[in-house]
């Protein structure tokens, strides 16, 4: 069985460690914990590994957030991976900082990366792991919030949720979506 695990984010130094790049953050820490390294590939940086008899393709798109769906669609087709065996990791302003939520479908919640994935796949029925970044911003300042860097206190919360997010990913590929949702939501 093959799985595509895609962490959403934006490439470039100016976006490193921003709230919007939490998908990249989770996959980077996953790779570091296993002493793996991402390699440049078509539409993003890739890491291919085996885990419990499964092949995992980790993807950090280089298409920028608003075109993330292009990378997801390409790699699903190229590797012949079913949509239900994909997992999109994205930030969510509607969840408190550090809270995670795994879902099998849903709307984009105003998230441009998820909008792109839904547009390219022509469905809202795909697994997604949403990581809360909170919504502590003044009216009209949403872009500044999501593209802003975490404060030191916030970064501690993100660091504490990272291992749980990685465990959720490994559970998803091991025991499936439903049982993982029951354990982690």
For the domain that residue 76 is a member of, what is the CATH number? 3.40.50.1470
Distance CA 5, CA 47 (A): 10
Residue with tokens 């547009």: 119
The pTM of the full predicted model, rounded to 2 decimals, is: 0.94
Read off the pLDDT band of 28 (50, 70, 90).
very high
The residue annotated as part of the active site, out of 20, 25, 29, 111, is 20
pLDDT at 136: 82
Of 47 and 157, the structure prediction assigns the larger pLDDT to 47
How many structural domains comprise the chain?
1
Angle between helices 112-121 and 68-78 (to 10 degrees): 40
The verdict on whether 20 is a catalytic residue reads yes
Residue 169 has pLDDT above 90, yes or no: yes
Residue 22's domain spans which residues? 2-184
Which H or E run includes 115? helix 112-121
């Amino acid at each position: 069985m093959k799985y595509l695990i895609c962490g959403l984010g934006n490439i470039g130094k100016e976006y490193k460690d921003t709230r919007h790049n939490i998908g990249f953050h989770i996959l980077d820490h996953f790779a570091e914990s296993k002493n793996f390294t991402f390699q440049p590939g078509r539409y993003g940086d890739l890491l291919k590994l085996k885990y419990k008899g499964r092949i995992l393709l980790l993807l950090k798109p280089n298409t920028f957030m608003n075109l993330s769906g292009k990378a997801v669609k390409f790699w699903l087709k190229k590797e012949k991976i079913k949509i239900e065996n994909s997992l999109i990791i994205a930030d969510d302003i509607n969840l408190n900082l550090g809270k995670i939520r795994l879902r099998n479908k849903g709307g984009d919640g105003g998230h441009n990366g998820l909008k792109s994935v839904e547009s390219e796949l022509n469905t809202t029925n795909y697994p997604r792991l949403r990581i809360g970044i909170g919504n502590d911003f003044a009216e009209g300042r949403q872009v500044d919030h999501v593209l802003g860097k975490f404060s030191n206190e916030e970064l501690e919360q993100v660091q504490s949720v990272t291992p749980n997010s990685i465990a959720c990913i490994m559970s998803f590929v091991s025991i499936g979506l439903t049982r993982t949702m029951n354990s982690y939501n």
